[in-house]
Structure 1
């Protein structure tokens, strides 16, 4: 076996890890070994959000400054113990009718993916064979708007959704925006969920036209926050909580408290800089999973 490859035992599964010293985040000197270590340590709070969901990965074999590629299909030489599910592929860019998706439901699978430099993990709003159990609204700022304005819009959205009996839970995207996630009943179609999210976005746009836009045209977004209701489309995925992102630093899609969102709306952190892998591990150790309520289900939407 080459010197840069060695076997490890992960919960009874033997994996061959490789190139652990390869730097995947050059500006931060963050290596592939550190990526694997992060995903291993964050697994207790991450895996419940991946369970029973078809996983899309974005792989960076030469680091975040190199080429990347989306991967939905299970790659060649996928171990036979990795769960895969053959599912319809709505919106496939390669014309596939079905795809053999990977389902990351245990630590060995997560470590195997990290060893493939699958830095980013994205999931749909539904579990396999079920209707959506999450409504996700993406908040995307158009420059010069930033995460500060996203936090302001998140507070408005939280209060509007609460009026309909919905609890919203915030997280950063790990890049420039953020998402609000609402647990829902799992009895309504993706079209129903999208229609409700669109209606709320349009309502808030009418009330706050200088801050919010609900239309997708990018030329309308300057200085505003686009409430992307289309994240609930059956063909869409959203970055999973606790996933790394391809940024100069090993930034993470980080669950937030509403006090932190209020601070961000005032121009304090998280608006000033992203949370990193090391910080997120400390946050999880201190506070547990701030998004755990997403796993318990929620009410029907008033559509």
Structure 2
């Protein structure tokens, strides 16, 4: 029988706790669940009121993966959900992870957590802008850091404050708190930044998705500002060879990065970083930090 635990008054059956999910480090499912519970105070505020999409990898990163936006079959009735407008007249329902019990339920499914740039109260109206810096081999996160510095200065000139986290995979995410704006407006501005970066740093940055253009350069993906797109949430575990986490980082760490390992963090690193830095993305949760999105040129 699966062990039953009670979390905030909710009974949960937790399965296969001894199952090794990350063979490279011997990390078990039980350890993954422990990470999620002990990091909930950081995780949950960044998930609050945002419809969650799941990348499920129940047999670890080497096994099958399933990306789903819909409410999974068997979801307990007490897990909150919300209606999300579709691209057509139809709509769907997605999970909201609003409390610790819901987070533990989701972690038991073994998931990456992905969210849009908007909340359930205003679908398609962004309250943050995101730039995904994705290196094409042999480029690494080191090249992403160089591009990030240019982008930070460029956005500061437009009155915007950028905050950074690792993707938990190969690259960086820059996130900006903004006054509510349509996804179309934020996408247009993000695209203008990508085009400007590619023009200013032609040996480092590309803004077009064509894979032939990307080796040795940083692809600046602005498309995650689309209302239909999602981004890996801060502090989520990733389905990689080792249990890496999408981890907030300081601009000093970005400026000092000379080796990819300097900005690669495992789940076991997060508690110490929390003690040292608290939540580096805390300003994203403060509405007073939001600034208007500039109008994209032309």
- The two structures have a TM-score, normalised by structure 2, of 0.95
Residues 69-218 of structure 1 correspond to what in structure 2 (within 5 A)?
A: 69-90=66-87, 97-118=90-111, 120-130=112-122, 131-186=125-180, 188-218=181-211
Task: Please give the alpha-carbon distance, in whole angstroms, between the structure 2 residues aligned to 1:55 and 1:96.
Answer: 21
Task: Please give the alpha-carbon distance, in whole angstroms, between the structure 2 residues aligned to 1:220 and 1:77.
Answer: 44
Contact 2:140 / 2:260 at 8 angstroms: preserved in 1?
Answer: no
Say if 2:237 is the partner of 1:237: no
Give the drift of 1:293. 0.2
Give the drift of 1:270. 2.7
Contact 1:26 / 1:65 at 8 angstroms: preserved in 2?
Answer: no
Counterpart position of 1:258: 251
Counterpart position of 2:262: 270
Counterpart position of 1:16: 13
Say which of 279, 282, 294 aligns to 2:284: 294
Contact 1:152 / 1:262 at 8 angstroms: preserved in 2?
Answer: yes
Counterpart position of 1:25: 22
Task: Please give the alpha-carbon distance, in whole angstroms, between the structure 2 residues aligned to 1:82 and 1:285.
Answer: 30
- Count of residues paired in the alignment: 291
Counterpart position of 1:228: 221
Q: Deviations over 1:135-174 (max 9, x none)?
A: 0000011111110000110111001000001000010001
Give the drift of 1:268. 6.5
Q: Deviations over 1:89-146 (max 9, x none)?
A: 33xxxx893221000010000000111112x100000011321000000001111111
Give the drift of 1:57. 0.6
Runs of 4+ in structure 1 over 6 Å off: none
| Structural RMSD (CA) | 1.3
Contact 1:260 / 1:269 at 8 angstroms: preserved in 2?
Answer: no
Task: Please give the alpha-carbon distance, in whole angstroms, between the structure 1 residues aligned to 2:113 and 2:260.
Answer: 28
Counterpart position of 1:6: 3
Contact 1:261 / 1:270 at 8 angstroms: preserved in 2?
Answer: no
Contact 2:141 / 2:260 at 8 angstroms: preserved in 1?
Answer: no
Task: Please give the alpha-carbon distance, in whole angstroms, between the structure 1 residues aligned to 2:148 and 2:79.
Answer: 37
Give the drift of 1:269. 4.6
The unaligned stretches of length 5 or more in structure 1 are none
Give the drift of 1:27. 1.2
- The two structures have a TM-score, normalised by structure 1, of 0.93
Task: Please give the alpha-carbon distance, in whole angstroms, between the structure 2 residues aligned to 1:49 and 1:170.
Answer: 14
SS of the aligned residue for 2:262 comes to: coil
